[in-house]
Structure 1
């Protein structure tokens, strides 16, 4: 049984990870950013799954089956923990559509839950009992089409896809995916191993290899590309990806065991992921677990969060400055670049950014 209380929420629309649209009216880009306000909300959970619907409506999920949401910008929170029979799942992936909220657990059995009645009940939409199952990220292209990815089983990265609004999910056969190389896996660090744009999706890997898998047709066909990101260690590789459009994207990562190392840990593409060029190599920041293009800035403003701190670029990734020193695992923008929601160990935070033009 699932233990929960009656939830009430209004979801204003899909806020798919990595699929933020640019606003039509671009304002003048500031010359520097600073923290105007940072409000932190404590929770008894390590939180790596965050979905921001708008400035005020935010969902999160974390360890111990803990999940929750706010509709009023953090003034009030509704939280609980979810159990399935005798299992207490740990969540590191979340997605929200107009119709439903989805939570996906790590480890085996992999459990994907779907709620369509304002949280009054949850249905198990997908279960996988492979001992190697370990899902890392989930997002949706649109209301009907969604994708989740995880560590390799049967010789390829795990990819499951829904084409009916998350009611059912099908695992992509390894015959249709690029083979995983020995020691290649992924990191459940920030629910940002996948980026979608149009019909495209990009999935990133780490460990022994740091590569990018790409589908141009919502999972019908796949190809894989090498990157210059550091690889070969247990905790090296790509931790996060975001695409601005079909051609321009950014990947970030490094080495969890050597976080200050800022070489070969960030790169960009201008050809849809086929080739990647290192950016700010040997310059700050080092390891980061989540990166995002800021909405309404034509790809010039980018944020990257991790341990320790959050950094920003105002020139498309060419150079970076530190925004603050607090550690977070993941973040998402609200309606504009001025509002950022972050999550970390035992906390969710609302960050207001101010920009100065010189």
Structure 2
């Protein structure tokens, strides 16, 4: 039995899978203790993800901003930074893309890319501030990015309320030429809210992979993340790389906001609180081991759980909050991966 246990790189790859299985298992125990049938619950969950084109479309719609938020966290983490400011970067990106989508009158081939680029630029500018403070003054990026989230939330609400508001506590709808909506995708998914942003998210995964693993600058960024002192000794500009990392991470988050503004909603409303997508992106990056493919798969899992939980509630009568417990358990086991390593090493030494 011991020879079949994962080792080395395979062990690292198996940790997220084991974490998901443990989260589902303990989630089932919680359901039993709460008086619910976990088989019925999980069957309804899967039904709510795969049983109908509409649910599949909604899963794709849900995972699209999660992919980009996860990439933002993962990219920064690969370079030794912890970007907790995805939520704020997403909000300013959402506002900027919607603004461009409203005020400009251009052909779609220009208008749509420009609106997405506006979101990326706004997110990048929101990310560069903590990057500069970290690089030049050693101000911890976690503290700064958390504070920047609140600044983004209340600034966006102020700008909408003062300059862009229409009845309904929101902005005007964007022009059709700036919309990511796809009649074709909607028709094959029974008129779900899925849109072309999913393609943008896939391209973003490829961009992150290419930058980090196929460019000299990506090598420098990863080297700085592994050891700043060694990188400095090797002649790399550590400060510039820290700032660049936060710019790119912020751009990913800003595009996540564009997906909401140009795809799912077509406008931006006054927010009563954070969207939650940015914070979910931390969990997505953690579960995806900060790799582009891993982030994509983790976003699919989280998006599916969010959509399927609604069916689980309506068909099986199980509260949707139990899915939040399962997600929290998965994150816990990934964060506590040393426990999984300990269990596997224990089995290796002593057998079953």
TM-score bucket of the superposed structures, by smaller chain: under 0.3
TM-score, structure 1 length as denominator?
0.22
Bigger-Rg structure (1/2): 2
Q: Point out the structure with the larger strand share.
A: 1
